[in-house]
């Protein structure tokens, strides 16, 4: 994605943040500003060195591959500068490290510059609060010990300010760049960030106290050891998460190989499920599990005979009963995978219906788990809007109309409304999911998501219960 692909509102927002950051840091460069350049250079260099392994693969491997995987691992260094330095000088310490930090998503340049501006603003605000509350005096200097416990007050308020500014700016970029609703963009950001920032603040205060002690900046470097250990633990978490992702991909690839008629379907159901959940204001920590639920909702088809999945003609009643066992097969397959959490219930119940006519247990209404109700809507929507070798995609508008018509009987109306809002905001990219697209000029029947009159097609000529799909789209 290039710079021009960024929404105009987001470009304006980023531009305003960068202008604000420049206004915060420039006073330190004016003649006669009496900026303590020695301390600025030491802190800025230390932060840059901390961020460098994430940018340099060779250096990261030299450190055993335990490079921090996310922003914020070395915030204690920045918070130290906020407690030690005047606001404009403290703001400058964030620049080198922010510009060197690792960026995995494109456009990397824009993201890096945005991150630098965001950190400059946050550090400046934290330092301003610390200055107003006379943090420099209570920290002590040399033989003068810090004034405990009063020093905790300015340090704590400075950390709180740092957290508030970062989360406020994060919410703004989610609102302008990702198109989220305002209430969703900021929901829960501050509360989720508060605990980690409090820990960073304690480390930053410890570093500032040692810096101002008789032992000087060298003593403050000892704080880097527990910081590095925390980064190592964080990296292990990300490695474990990467292993989880690999497990999911392997299962999905196995399903795609076995049932070529729905290739790509699982990934899109996962994406649609997350769109619905974001509109509902679901907590961020649940979104990843819901995405796994959407991706793995058909994993039980690995337990269905291939001859049934790929059958060209109508299904017999016995074959239909076999197909309808796939949610239970899927639940059994992933039962021992602990990190999937709520996803297991969604995989088991995503074919239940609000009126109790679904399977495998005939649950109705609120008895159906929330994740299952989300995945059911996402699954049906993608089945209708995907072009396959035996059916032509319906336009998004017609698919939405069908979902709305069946809301309350088959689907949770709340989930349908959330999908409609998400589609209005983000649109939807459909795609061919069979091995081969239909021949040019071929008019295929529409995917049978609801019991509407339609031409007879191969693989789907037997009467079906309401909202049943061809065996390839179960």
* Bridge partners of residue 391, in order along the sequence: 388
Chain segment 291-309, per-residue pLDDT in tens: 989 999 988 988 888 888 7
What are the two backbone dihedrals, phi and then psi, of residue 407, each rounded to the nearest 5 degrees?
-65, 135
Predicted confidence band of residue 262 (pLDDT cuts 50, 70, 90): low
Structure confidence at residue 251 (pLDDT) = 80
Helices (DSSP H) in 178-283: which residue ranges? 182-186, 189-211, 217-220, 224-258, 265-279
CB 173 within 8 A of CB 140: no
Structure confidence at residue 20 (pLDDT) = 96
Widest Cα–Cα separation across the chain: 90
Structure confidence at residue 103 (pLDDT) = 77
Phi-psi label, residue 151: left if phi above 0, alpha if psi -120 to 50, beta otherwise: alpha
What are the two backbone dihedrals, phi and then psi, of residue 55, each rounded to the nearest 5 degrees?
-90, -25
Q: What percent of the chain has pLDDT over 70?
A: 81
Q: Picking from 34-43, 243-252, 383-392, 422-431, which range would have the lowest pLDDT averaged per residue?
A: 383-392
pTM of structure: 0.60
Task: Inform me whether the pLDDT recorded for 84 exceeds 80.
Answer: yes
Q: Mean pLDDT over all residues of the chain?
A: 81
Task: Inform me whether the pLDDT recorded for 339 exceeds 90.
Answer: no
More confident residue, 299 or 245: 299
Burial class (CB in 10 A: 0-12, 13-18, 19+), 289: middle
The Cα 268–Cα 451 span in angstroms is: 24
Measured on CA atoms in the order 146, 149, 151, 155, is the torsion positive or negative? positive
Structure confidence at residue 275 (pLDDT) = 93
Mean pLDDT within 73-88: 91
Task: Inform me whether the pLDDT recorded for 451 exceeds 80.
Answer: no
Mean pLDDT within 204-216: 88
Chain segment 349-364, per-residue pLDDT in tens: 999 999 999 999 999 9
Task: Inform me whether the pLDDT recorded for 268 exceeds 70.
Answer: yes
Task: Inform me whether the pLDDT recorded for 469 exceeds 70.
Answer: no
Neighbours of 42 (CB within 10 A): 17
The Cα 406–Cα 383 span in angstroms is: 15
Task: Inform me whether the pLDDT recorded for 464 exceeds 60.
Answer: no
Predicted confidence band of residue 441 (pLDDT cuts 50, 70, 90): very low
The Cα 226–Cα 219 span in angstroms is: 14
**E strands, 5-92, in order:** none
Structure confidence at residue 432 (pLDDT) = 43
Structure confidence at residue 267 (pLDDT) = 87
């Amino acid at each position: 994605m290039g710079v021009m692909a960024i929404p105009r509102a987001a470009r304006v927002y980023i531009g305003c943040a960068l202008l604000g950051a420049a206004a915060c840091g420039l006073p330190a460069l004016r003649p006669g500003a009496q900026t303590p350049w020695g301390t600025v250079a030491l802190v800025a260099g230390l932060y840059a060195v901390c961020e460098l392994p994430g940018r340099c693969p060779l250096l990261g491997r030299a450190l055993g591959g335990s490079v921090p995987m996310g922003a914020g691992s070395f915030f204690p260094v920045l918070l130290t500068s906020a407690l030690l330095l005047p606001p404009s000088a403290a703001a400058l310490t964030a620049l080198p490290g922010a510009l060197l930090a690792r960026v995995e998503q494109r456009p990397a340049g824009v993201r890096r510059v945005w991150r630098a501006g965001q950190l400059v603003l946050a550090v400046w605000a934290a330092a301003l609060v610390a200055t107003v509350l006379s943090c420099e005096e209570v920290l002590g200097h040399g033989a003068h010990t810090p004034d405990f416990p009063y020093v905790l007050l300015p340090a704590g308020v400075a950390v709180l300010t740092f957290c508030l500014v970062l989360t406020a700016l994060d919410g703004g970029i989610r609102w302008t760049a990702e198109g989220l609703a305002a209430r969703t963009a900021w929901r829960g950001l501050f509360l989720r960030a508060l605990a980690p920032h409090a820990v960073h603040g304690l480390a930053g205060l410890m570093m500032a106290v040692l810096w101002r002690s008789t032992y000087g900046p060298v003593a403050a470097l000892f704080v880097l050891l527990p910081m590095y250990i925390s980064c190592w633990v964080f990296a292990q978490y990300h490695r474990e998460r990467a292993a989880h992702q690999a497990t999911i991909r392997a299962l999905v690839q196995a399903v795609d190989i076995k049932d070529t008629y729905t290739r790509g379907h699982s990934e899109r159901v996962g994406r649609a499920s997350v769109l619905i959940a974001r509109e509902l204001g679901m907590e961020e920590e649940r979104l990843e599990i819901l995405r796994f639920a959407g991706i793995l909702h058909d994993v039980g088809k690995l337990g269905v005979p291939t001859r049934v999945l790929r059958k060209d003609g109508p299904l017999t009643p016995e074959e239909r009963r076999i197909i309808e066992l796939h949610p239970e097969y899927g639940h059994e397959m992933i039962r021992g995978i602990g990190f999937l959490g709520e996803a297991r219930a969604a995989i088991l119940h995503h074919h239940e219906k609000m009126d109790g006519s679904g399977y495998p247990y005939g649950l109705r209404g609120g008895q159906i788990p929330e994740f299952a109700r989300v995945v059911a809507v996402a699954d049906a929507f993608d089945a209708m809007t995907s072009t396959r070798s035996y059916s032509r995609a319906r336009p998004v508008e017609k698919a939405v109309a069908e979902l709305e018509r069946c809301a309350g009987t088959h689907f949770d109306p709340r989930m349908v409304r959330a999908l409609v809002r998400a589609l209005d905001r983000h649109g939807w990219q459909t795609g061919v999911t069979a091995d081969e697209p239909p021949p040019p000029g071929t008019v295929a029947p529409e995917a049978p998501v609801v019991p509407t009159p339609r031409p007879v097609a191969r693989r789907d000529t037997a009467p079906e219960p309401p909202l049943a799909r061809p065996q390839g789209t179960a």
